[in-house]
Structure 1
Amino acid sequence: MLILGYCEAQDSKVVIKKLPNVVYILADDLGYGDLSSLNPQSGIKTPSMDRIVENGIQFTDAHSNSSVCTPTRYGIITGRYAWRSRLKKGVLWGYDQPLIEENRVTVASFLKDNGYNTACIGKWHLGLGWQPKNPAKPIAKYEWTMVFEKGDDSNVDFSKPISGPKELGFEYSYIIPASLDMTPYLYIENGKAVELPTAYTEGKSEEEDGRGVFWRAGEVSPSFVFEEVLDNITDKAVSYIHNQKKTKNPFFLYFPLTGPHTPWLPTDAINGKSQAGTYGDFVLDVDNAVGKVVHALEKSGQLDNTMIVVTSDNGSHWTPEDKEKYTHRANYIFKGQKADIYEGGHHVPYIAMWPGNIAPGSSSDQVICTTDLLATLSGIIEKPLPQGAGEDSYDMLNAYLKTDTDKQIRDYTIHHSLDGFFSIRKGKWKMTTQLGSGGFSEPKLTVPSESGAKGTLYDMENDINETVNLYMEHSEVVAELTNLLKEAKKQ
């Protein structure tokens, strides 16, 4: 089967011999500055991800649609900004119901309808259709997501089917419900608990166990070992890849990792090998997981026809205290950290490899967003998206293949913080509608003076560090971006 991709700028055709496999690896809290290929001063050596950069493309201006995980995952799967959903700020907890709306077109359902085998292996964190023991009672009290005392079992009947990935187009799934520091702790395979969470964990605290070693107390499967989760899901991904060799259909593997999000649990073989403490060591384990997936594709003879994407759901949770202790800069030169509206919250690593299609050693300064996966895959397989699907997704295929022009493909890009702060980027300008980080960094919110700036405006070409606020000097730009944001919200 021949798939023809067209380059309008050069009026030529890009020939793609057959439908490619797609492996989308989503790291959890990985910073742009963690990759040694993107940050020469990184305190971490990441050979597996560096290999992808060497043999593929790096996007220097890539962004997650949110600076925290649940909304970014919503954007990746649906091609929509998550603030269009019921989640206006924050993230879901482990017992929450599904965030993605019923009958919503997803990357998985779209590819499945077009002949792909589809799988999700790893951290889900988009809500699950838990069934209650007692329908008259809530699944779990909200505060139980924070403090779960022994004996305070949830109202979940874990023996019953659990709706989630399958209902969104994933034919195979092997997941944990949410972040590895959120209850409940169990593996779910194809909508069934692999082992019921009948045990209890007292959790870990950073005060007692060290920076980054943290998970909440609560329900856990008896054989669930936190230190083994990253290896377990990687083994499942490798097994899935090898099994796909037996089928004629191309496959889509969505592989959301559990690291380097807390708990930071590097393997014994890795301990102490980075220059960024426990966090840096755990990033090495993440890099190893990427390497195992690439090796599995290579060993099974499928690498040459696979597009691999590696990115992150948001910036790293690398605090000012971490910066004082280590010279490593997980978020590179960017201001802020995970959860913030600043660049450090959403300016993420984004690298891709596709032998024979993406030129080795390529680099692109196109502004790209994690919501763009759906439309880009639509462009690759040359099948139009159903009406109303992926309204915030742009086809970035020409950027991957370097057949784009200097003109930005995206008209504008909207970012969202933990606390629901907005920013909008168009060309070199980035405007925020409020003052403060809207996330973890202090101050989280600054009340403007009557005569002062109500938000921020930065020239990202000349001030990537967001140091000089030009909000008052360029009222015409502020007005234009404000109107664009209002119109986007109305859509």
Structure 2
Amino acid sequence: MKNKKQITWVAVLCLVVFNSFGQQTKMDKVKPNIVYILADDMGYGDLSALNPESGIQTPNMDKIVEEGMYFTDAHSNSAVCTPTRYGIITGRYAWRSRLKEGVLWGYDPPLIEDDRTTVASFLSDNGYRTACIGKWHLGLGWHAKDPEKPIAKYEWDRVFEEGADSNVDFSKQVSGPNTLGFDYSYIIPSSLDMTPYLYLENEKATELPTAYTLGKSANKDGRGVFWRAGEVAPNFDFHNVLGHLTAKATNFITEQKTNKEPFFLYFPLTAPHTPWLPTDEVNGKSKAGRYGDFVALVDITVGKVLKALEQSGQAENTLIIVTSDNGSNWTEDDKEQYVHRANGKYRGQKADIYEGGHRIPFIARWPGTIKAGSVSDQVMCTTDLLSTLSGIIGKILPKGAGEDSYNMLPAFTESAEKQIRDFTVHHSLNGFFAIRKGPWKLTTSLGSGGFSQPNLIQPEEGQPNATLFNLEKDPQETKNLYAEHPEVIEELLVLLEDARN
């Protein structure tokens, strides 16, 4: 009898080991492809599926919502471009880096350290083919013609006088996306309104910026039509940048059909950030002017990616995410002219510490894993990508990587029983902090900290330099409850201080 029991237990053990091995082998084979589309300055209220009163129809993004899910409480870690991108790629709040406020310029050096774990290096180390196609805006390792002189001198509206050149040797390879783990990259250095204007493929210029553009001015050319004067590649067409990058992205997807390893495509768009340059295909299609038409072009871009996945037979094994780097640059003047509310019901706009600055659309489709038509109220942050990828592929992150990143996989699969994030820190253009836990949001400065006026308010004598809002009851941030909940204030201030230290 004893021997029989021993034999039985050995058999059970062998079966468990065999099944575990079989499941692991299966998981290795079915690692999903991942496409991460990052719109530039697209607001929560722009998508017609998320805002029934939107002045823009977005059928392709609506299709992702219908066949996948959307998050009602997703946030960028910053209310502006560069720091959000830093958070996405590294899983860290950008204020931990040298960038304490503002954004980088096109000639600035890299913000991400060469030895830091990134989503690209992590996935590449775990069998993924990785690509970055689109707007980079995280700094590049330019080489100076004259090492004794600065790369460039900056002003807000102009970088150079007409005909002047920077001190960059554009013929030399830079350090950028490939240095940080991307196998392939095809980028523009920063926003489409910031010099220099050129494409770089695998960290080398495809054409030298030997020409000069006088730029565009919204005062002369209309709201949203703006780019700064400066160096430009002779064949660089501002009006076709989004289309050109989309073709590169869809070609990359198609090429992966014959590859055995899964792929990760990071596709940061140039739109609907200024310059607003809608094509004839979408002109006049929206009820939100040139901006709305440009968002419609973003939707067409998403549709082309979906089509490439379907035609290459890769849609069923691909997690596709579409989100934005911050809220929309939709001003009070825009609201007076149009019924459309790019940031939905939320206060403020891009750059602000208010919800309109950092509450973003976040939609995802993953056939067989994400239930069609599902909705999540989980608080999510753009820094969460790295840990979520770790959860998806079942590989532990290296020590010290992604310290502000949470694994949101249970939210995608609707298996989370409570809020995954303990708290979330927000940051504005001017470096204002806010911290969110549960329904409570504490802001440690007065004013927007960004584009909305007033951007800075000095407290009256004896008054706190802070606000406390209950977003569950007051999502528009209209009633400051600071004086009524000292215990909440104390808890949030301790959490924020701990996070900052």
Range class of TM-score, shorter chain: over 0.9
The answer to whether structure 1 residue 197 and structure 2 residue 206 are counterparts is no
- CA displacement, residues 305-333 of structure 1 (integer Å, 9 cap, x when unaligned): 00000000000000000000000000000
Given that 1:60 and 1:364 are in contact with CA atoms closer than 8 Å, whether structure 2 keeps it comes out as yes
- For 2:103, the equivalent position in structure 1 comes to 91
Task: Report the residue type matching 1:162 in the other structure.
Answer: V
- For 1:397, the equivalent position in structure 2 comes to 409
Please state which structure has a larger fraction of its residues in helix: 2
Match of 1:287 among 289, 299, 315: 299
The answer to whether structure 1 residue 456 and structure 2 residue 467 are counterparts is yes
Task: Report the residue type matching 1:417 in the other structure.
Answer: S
Given that 2:153 and 2:159 are in contact with CA atoms closer than 8 Å, whether structure 1 keeps it comes out as no
Match of 1:473 among 484, 491, 494: 484
The answer to whether structure 1 residue 225 and structure 2 residue 240 are counterparts is no
- For 2:123, the equivalent position in structure 1 comes to 111
Task: Please show how residues 228-247 of structure 1 align to structure 2 within 5 Å.
Answer: 228-247=240-259
Alpha-carbon deviation of 1:145? 6.8
The answer to whether structure 1 residue 301 and structure 2 residue 313 are counterparts is yes
Secondary structure in 2 matching 1:293: helix
- For 2:133, the equivalent position in structure 1 comes to 121
Gaps of 5+ in 2: 1-20
- For 1:248, the equivalent position in structure 2 comes to 260
- CA displacement, residues 342-401 of structure 1 (integer Å, 9 cap, x when unaligned): 000000000000001100000000000000000000000000000000000000000001
Gaps of 5+ in 1: 5-13
Alpha-carbon deviation of 1:17? 6.7
Structure 2 CA distance for aligned equivalents of residues 424 and 402 of structure 1? 25
Task: Please show how residues 43-62 of structure 1 align to structure 2 within 5 Å.
Answer: 43-62=55-74
Task: Report the residue type matching 1:23 in the other structure.
Answer: V
Alpha-carbon deviation of 1:101? 1.2
Task: Report the residue type matching 1:469 in the other structure.
Answer: N
The answer to whether structure 1 residue 435 and structure 2 residue 458 are counterparts is no
Structure 2 CA distance for aligned equivalents of residues 399 and 32 of structure 1? 19
- CA displacement, residues 37-56 of structure 1 (integer Å, 9 cap, x when unaligned): 00000000000100000000
Given that 1:3 and 1:18 are in contact with CA atoms closer than 8 Å, whether structure 2 keeps it comes out as no
Structure 2 CA distance for aligned equivalents of residues 85 and 257 of structure 1? 24
Task: Report the residue type matching 1:452 in the other structure.
Answer: Q
The answer to whether structure 1 residue 76 and structure 2 residue 54 are counterparts is no
Task: Report the residue type matching 2:167 in the other structure.
Answer: N
Structure 2 CA distance for aligned equivalents of residues 270 and 472 of structure 1? 50
Secondary structure in 2 matching 1:260: coil
The answer to whether structure 1 residue 484 and structure 2 residue 495 are counterparts is yes
Structure 1 CA distance for aligned equivalents of residues 156 and 465 of structure 2? 37
- For 1:266, the equivalent position in structure 2 comes to 278
Secondary structure in 1 matching 2:231: strand
Secondary structure in 2 matching 1:158: coil
The answer to whether structure 1 residue 385 and structure 2 residue 397 are counterparts is yes
Structure 2 CA distance for aligned equivalents of residues 67 and 157 of structure 1? 33
Task: Report the residue type matching 1:416 in the other structure.
Answer: H
Secondary structure in 2 matching 1:255: strand
Alpha-carbon deviation of 1:269? 1.6
- For 1:7, the equivalent position in structure 2 comes to none
- Structure 1 residues 424 and 73: alpha-carbon distance in aligned structure 2, compared to 1, 3 A threshold: same
Identity of matched residues, % = 70
The answer to whether structure 1 residue 185 and structure 2 residue 197 are counterparts is yes
Structure 2 CA distance for aligned equivalents of residues 328 and 16 of structure 1? 46
Given that 1:3 and 1:381 are in contact with CA atoms closer than 8 Å, whether structure 2 keeps it comes out as no
Match of 1:175 among 181, 187, 204: 187
Secondary structure in 2 matching 1:142: coil
- For 2:357, the equivalent position in structure 1 comes to 345
Task: Report the residue type matching 1:439 in the other structure.
Answer: G
- Structure 1 residues 3 and 329: alpha-carbon distance in aligned structure 2, compared to 1, 3 A threshold: farther
Structure 2 CA distance for aligned equivalents of residues 307 and 106 of structure 1? 19
Structure 1 CA distance for aligned equivalents of residues 281 and 22 of structure 2? 45
Structure 2 CA distance for aligned equivalents of residues 244 and 484 of structure 1? 44
- CA displacement, residues 23-68 of structure 1 (integer Å, 9 cap, x when unaligned): 0000000000000000000000000100000000100000000000
Match of 2:432 among 421, 440, 446: 421
Cα RMSD between the aligned structures? 1.3
Structure 2 CA distance for aligned equivalents of residues 162 and 56 of structure 1? 39
Alpha-carbon deviation of 1:142? 2.2
- Structure 1 residues 205 and 48: alpha-carbon distance in aligned structure 2, compared to 1, 3 A threshold: same
Task: Report the residue type matching 1:387 in the other structure.
Answer: K
The answer to whether structure 1 residue 150 and structure 2 residue 162 are counterparts is yes
Alpha-carbon deviation of 1:2? 6.7
Secondary structure in 2 matching 1:58: strand
- For 2:330, the equivalent position in structure 1 comes to 318
Structure 1 CA distance for aligned equivalents of residues 411 and 28 of structure 2? 15
Secondary structure in 1 matching 2:155: helix
The answer to whether structure 1 residue 410 and structure 2 residue 426 are counterparts is no
The answer to whether structure 1 residue 447 and structure 2 residue 463 are counterparts is no
**How many corresponding residue pairs?**
480
Given that 1:130 and 1:163 are in contact with CA atoms closer than 8 Å, whether structure 2 keeps it comes out as yes
Alpha-carbon deviation of 1:472? 1.1
- CA displacement, residues 217-243 of structure 1 (integer Å, 9 cap, x when unaligned): 000000000000000000000000000
Task: Report the residue type matching 2:148 in the other structure.
Answer: A
Alpha-carbon deviation of 1:147? 3.9
Alpha-carbon deviation of 1:302? 0.3
Structure 2 CA distance for aligned equivalents of residues 118 and 61 of structure 1? 28
Structure 1 CA distance for aligned equivalents of residues 374 and 96 of structure 2? 34
Secondary structure in 1 matching 2:258: coil
Secondary structure in 1 matching 2:436: strand
Structure 2 CA distance for aligned equivalents of residues 387 and 212 of structure 1? 44
- For 1:11, the equivalent position in structure 2 comes to none
Structure 1 CA distance for aligned equivalents of residues 197 and 91 of structure 2? 29
Alpha-carbon deviation of 1:143? 2.3
Structure 1 CA distance for aligned equivalents of residues 304 and 323 of structure 2? 16
Alpha-carbon deviation of 1:152? 1.8
Given that 2:144 and 2:167 are in contact with CA atoms closer than 8 Å, whether structure 1 keeps it comes out as yes
Alpha-carbon deviation of 1:450? 2.3
- CA displacement, residues 280-314 of structure 1 (integer Å, 9 cap, x when unaligned): 00000000000000100000000000000000000
Structure 1 CA distance for aligned equivalents of residues 114 and 288 of structure 2? 43
Match of 2:148 among 131, 136, 152: 136
Task: Report the residue type matching 2:268 in the other structure.
Answer: P
Given that 2:158 and 2:230 are in contact with CA atoms closer than 8 Å, whether structure 1 keeps it comes out as no
Task: Report the residue type matching 1:267 in the other structure.
Answer: T
Given that 1:430 and 1:459 are in contact with CA atoms closer than 8 Å, whether structure 2 keeps it comes out as yes
Given that 2:47 and 2:57 are in contact with CA atoms closer than 8 Å, whether structure 1 keeps it comes out as yes
